[in-house]
């Protein structure tokens, strides 16, 4: 007979959400489920992205726990329903359920983990409205209650929430420490699937806001592995694909970025609403960089419909379309917002737009503010943005020696981060500074390298904007990072060490590309460079030398 509670519970424990739903619904049709099984049904619906069914099942679970006299369980489920409604952009209903749960908790002696958890939906709502100070205070209260009680689920959610508020207000160091703690809790398997998904997604978002690309890459890979282990998943899966799209775009795997964005959009339509804005925005970014402006415009419009300004991409699109005044207007309105996290991207774009529009003073002011932000929290990503902005402003002021130095710093930072499009743009900045200093030989070499990178990426607008004397382009393509390996005694870059570590673990180029969000061609280039620098003929010999010299510790994965 279809519909066995035991089969449903086994399916739930094994993360077979669709089977759990099928068995629980069939069983419920014969005799009402007990509250814990209704809660399992609600969680399964949640993970499958089935919004209406999730809300109905959570409400039913709450009511049945309350009728059974389990006030604490009823309050807990009501808080999770408040969370779910907040994620679904239904703040009024969210606050209603939060208040209802708080009323139940007021009847209980405290503190309990639920007393701490009850503070978090309201804190996230304040965060989303931009009230960082009040959100931070609520998250700190939640942690003060939760930590002595030792509840890992509540601690991890409060930590990631507090980190989110801190990042938005500029408190990066404390935020990143909290994120490390929260991810460690999730990685230990000490929480349920809903809490794990919430923490992973918010932690990665924090990394992007903090411009911490290595953490974002590491945790996106961890989220990807987690969701693969969670069975047929919609919730949180689309957001993961959207993060993958951004990483693929940054690392030059633009076709992969578009595919990941499309996968995220499919999950968005299936019920993972958190995947909407970033998936459409990331696809639009690739389309803009490839010169497909009409399609990019549509993508930014889709992102806007999800409730966020598609900046700075839309402003840069207007600049590419020859509409600098419109681009200025978009960015000037946006930079009126006092948001330390988003401002860095906006300020970097503002420098480009204001210079193109002829307002050198506004460009210089944007660079000066970006410099202050880079001093306060100088991740390589932020410092790369600042150095490139400096090169542009200094060149506009005729300070070409300083511009060359800034462009070289930016080129080095983007190279370490593995962002080929920005590497190419910095090569162009260096070349223009050299030309202004009447040093044509390095200028020609730099432009030739930039042309090769941009040609492989398919970055048609940037390619068309290169000076005509940039030197020959390889007809057969090439790696998306500059070739010309350094001398064999040159130290390995951070990215090459990442690749070498995975080579030592026995991974293929395809597997390394997937784990580091690179194209296979880029991985092949890195492997070739590693072999040249180590002076060895093969991957096996490279691994042996890496272990022998301590570049990679034996057993390190």
CATH code, domain with 525 = 1.10.10.10
pLDDT of residue 202: 87
Average pLDDT over residues 303-316: 91
List CB contacts of 43: < 8 A, sequence separation 6 or more.
Answer: 12, 192, 193, 194
- Is residue 437, in this structure, part of any structural domain at all? yes
Q: Say how far residue 438 (Cα) sits from the centre of its chain.
A: 42
CA atoms within 13 A on the CB side of 103: 8
- Is residue 527, in this structure, part of any structural domain at all? yes
pLDDT of residue 544: 77
C-alpha 243/C-alpha 226 separation (Å) is: 14
Res 94 pLDDT > 90: yes
Res 2 pLDDT > 60: no
C-alpha 127/C-alpha 28 separation (Å) is: 39
List CB contacts of 531: < 8 A, sequence separation 6 or more.
Answer: 537, 538, 539, 542
Residues 513 and 405 in one domain: no
Give the phi and the psi of residue 466 in degrees, each rounded to 5: -75, 150
pLDDT of residue 540: 78
Residues 510 and 381 in one domain: no
Residues 449 and 499 in one domain: no
Which residue, 411, 444, 464, sits at the end of a domain?
A: 464
pLDDT of residue 225: 85
Place 481 in a pLDDT band, splitting at 50, 70 and 90. Answer: very low
pLDDT of residue 97: 96
424-458 pLDDT tens trace: 999 999 999 999 999 999 999 999 999 999 999 99
Place 484 in a pLDDT band, splitting at 50, 70 and 90. Answer: very low
Place 1 in a pLDDT band, splitting at 50, 70 and 90. Answer: very low
Dig out the tokens for 345 from the structure. Answer: 């991207």
pLDDT of residue 308: 78
330-373 pLDDT tens trace: 999 987 765 656 788 999 999 999 999 999 999 999 999 999 98
Average pLDDT over residues 8-34: 94
pLDDT of residue 478: 34
Average pLDDT over residues 259-282: 89
Average pLDDT over residues 145-157: 96
Res 490 pLDDT > 80: no
Give the phi and the psi of residue 200 in degrees, each rounded to 5: -55, -50
Residue 404 belongs to domain spanning: 324-464
Place 489 in a pLDDT band, splitting at 50, 70 and 90. Answer: very low
Residue from 242, 246, 248 nearest 264 by CA: 242
Are 43 and 194 within 8 A, CB to CB? yes
CATH of residue 378's domain is: 1.25.40.10
Res 100 pLDDT > 80: yes
- Is residue 506, in this structure, part of any structural domain at all? yes
- Is residue 483, in this structure, part of any structural domain at all? no
C-alpha 64/C-alpha 86 separation (Å) is: 23
Res 318 pLDDT > 50: yes
Which residue, 464, 479, 503, sits at the end of a domain?
A: 464
pLDDT of residue 179: 93
pLDDT of residue 471: 43
pLDDT of residue 469: 57
- Is residue 265, in this structure, part of any structural domain at all? no
Which comes out higher in pLDDT, residue 477 or 520? 520
Give the least confident one: 14-28, 101-115, 432-446, 474-488.
Answer: 474-488
Give the least confident one: 340-354, 376-390, 515-529.
Answer: 515-529
Residue from 291, 288, 275 nearest 315 by CA: 288
> For 447-474, b where at least 16 C-beta lie within 10 A, e where not — what string?
bbbbbbbbbbbebeebbeebeeebbebe
Residue 377 is classified by DSSP as: S
Residues 332 and 450 in one domain: yes
Q: What is the DSSP string of 208-268?
A: HHTT-HHHHHHHHHHHHHHHHHTSS--TTHHHHHHHHHHHHHHTT-HHHHHHHHHHHHHHH
Which residue, 445, 464, 483, sits at the end of a domain?
A: 464
C-alpha 509/C-alpha 160 separation (Å) is: 34
Are 44 and 21 within 8 A, CB to CB? yes
How many domains does the structure of the chain reveal?
A: 2
Are 236 and 272 within 8 A, CB to CB? yes
- Is residue 222, in this structure, part of any structural domain at all? no
List the helix and strand counts (H, then E) for the chain: 30, 0
Q: Say how far residue 76 (Cα) sits from the centre of its chain.
A: 30
pLDDT of residue 554: 63
pLDDT of residue 555: 57
58-85 pLDDT tens trace: 999 999 999 999 999 999 999 999 999 9
Q: What is the DSSP string of 55-107?
A: HHHHHHHHHHHHHTT-HHHHHHHHHHHHHHHHHTT-HHHHHHHHHHHHHHHTT
Place 3 in a pLDDT band, splitting at 50, 70 and 90. Answer: low
Place 250 in a pLDDT band, splitting at 50, 70 and 90. Answer: very high
Res 488 pLDDT > 60: no
Residues 361 and 447 in one domain: yes
Residues 408 and 512 in one domain: no
389-427 pLDDT tens trace: 999 999 999 999 999 999 999 999 999 898 999 999 999
- Is residue 452, in this structure, part of any structural domain at all? yes
pLDDT of residue 261: 95
- Is residue 419, in this structure, part of any structural domain at all? yes
C-alpha 191/C-alpha 484 separation (Å) is: 48
Burial-class residue 416 by CB neighbours within 10 Å (0-12, 13-18, 19+): middle
pLDDT of residue 524: 82
Residues 331 and 394 in one domain: yes
Residues 453 and 332 in one domain: yes
Residue 34 is classified by DSSP as: P
Give the least confident one: 68-72, 104-108, 474-478.
Answer: 474-478
pLDDT of residue 215: 85
C-alpha 239/C-alpha 231 separation (Å) is: 16
C-alpha 174/C-alpha 476 separation (Å) is: 48
- Mean per-residue pLDDT over the chain, rounded: 88
Res 485 pLDDT > 60: no
Residues 455 and 519 in one domain: no
Are 520 and 479 within 8 A, CB to CB? no
C-alpha 61/C-alpha 66 separation (Å) is: 9
pLDDT of residue 340: 59
Residues 523 and 421 in one domain: no
Residues 330 and 451 in one domain: yes
Res 311 pLDDT > 90: yes
Residues 355 and 456 in one domain: yes
pLDDT of residue 171: 83
pLDDT of residue 209: 78
What percent helix, strand, coil does the chain show, rounded to 5? 75, 0, 25
Residue from 127, 117, 56 nearest 87 by CA: 127
Give the phi and the psi of residue 107 in degrees, each rounded to 5: -85, -10
Residue from 336, 331, 388 nearest 354 by CA: 331
């Amino acid at each position: 007979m279809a519909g066995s509670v035991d089969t449903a519970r086994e399916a739930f424990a094994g993360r077979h959400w669709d089977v759990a739903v099928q068995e629980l619904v069939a069983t419920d049709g014969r005799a009402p489920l007990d509250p814990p099984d209704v809660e399992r049904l609600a969680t399964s619906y949640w993970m499958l992205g089935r919004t209406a069914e999730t809300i109905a099942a959570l409400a039913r679970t709450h009511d049945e726990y309350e009728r059974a006299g389990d006030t604490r369980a009823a309050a807990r489920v009501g808080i999770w329903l408040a969370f779910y409604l907040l994620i679904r952009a239904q703040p009024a209903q969210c606050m209603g359920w939060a208040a209802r749960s708080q009323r139940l908790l007021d009847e209980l002696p405290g503190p309990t983990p639920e007393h701490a958890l009850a503070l978090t939906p309201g804190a996230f709502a304040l965060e989303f409205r931009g009230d960082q100070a009040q959100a931070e205070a609520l998250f700190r209260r939640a942690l003060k209650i939760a930590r002595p009680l030792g509840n890992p689920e509540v601690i991890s959610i409060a930590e990631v929430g507090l980190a989110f508020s801190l990042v938005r207000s500029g408190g990066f160091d404390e935020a990143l420490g909290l994120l490390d703690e929260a991810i460690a809790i999730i990685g230990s398997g000490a929480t349920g699937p809903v809490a794990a998904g919430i923490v992973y997604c918010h932690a990665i978002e924090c990394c992007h806001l903090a411009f911490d690309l290595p953490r974002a890459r590491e945790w996106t890979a961890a989220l990807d592995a987690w969701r693969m282990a969670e069975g047929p998943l919609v919730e949180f899966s689309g957001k993961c694909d959207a993060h993958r799209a951004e990483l693929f775009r940054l690392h030059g795997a633009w076709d992969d970025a578009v595919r990941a964005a499309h996968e995220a959009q499919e999950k968005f339509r299936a019920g993972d609403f958190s995947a909407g804005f970033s998936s459409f925005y990331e696809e639009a970014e690739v389309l803009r960089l490839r010169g497909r402006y009409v399609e990019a415009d549509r993508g930014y419009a889709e992102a806007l419909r999800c409730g966020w300004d598609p900046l700075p991409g839309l402003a840069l699109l207007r600049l590419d379309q020859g509409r600098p005044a419109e681009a200025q207007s978009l960015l000037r309105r946006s930079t009126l917002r006092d948001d330390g996290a988003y401002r860095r991207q906006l300020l970097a774009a503002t420098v480009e737009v204001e210079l193109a529009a002829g307002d050198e003073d506004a460009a210089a002011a944007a660079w000066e503010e970006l410099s202050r932000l880079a001093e306060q929290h100088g991740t390589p990503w932020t410092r790369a943005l600042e150095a490139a902005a400096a090169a542009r402003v200094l060149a506009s002021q005729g300070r070409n020696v300083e511009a060359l130095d800034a462009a070289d710093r930016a080129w080095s930072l983007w190279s370490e981060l593995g962002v080929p499009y920005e590497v190419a743009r910095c090569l162009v900045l260096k070349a223009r500074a050299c030309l202004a200093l009447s040093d044509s030989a390095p200028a020609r070499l730099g432009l030739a390298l930039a042309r090769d990178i941009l040609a492989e990426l398919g970055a048609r607008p940037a390619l068309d904007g290169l000076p005509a004397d940039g030197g020959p382009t390889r007809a057969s393509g090439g790696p998306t990072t500059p070739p010309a390996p350094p001398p064999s005694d040159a130290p390995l870059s951070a990215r090459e060490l990442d690749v070498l570590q995975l080579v030592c673990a026995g991974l293929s180029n395809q597997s390394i590309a997937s784990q580091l969000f690179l194209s296979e061609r880029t991985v092949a280039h890195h492997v070739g460079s590693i072999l040249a620098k180590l002076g060895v003929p093969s991957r096996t010999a490279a691994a042996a030398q890496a272990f022998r010299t301590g570049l990679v510790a034996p057993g390190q994965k």
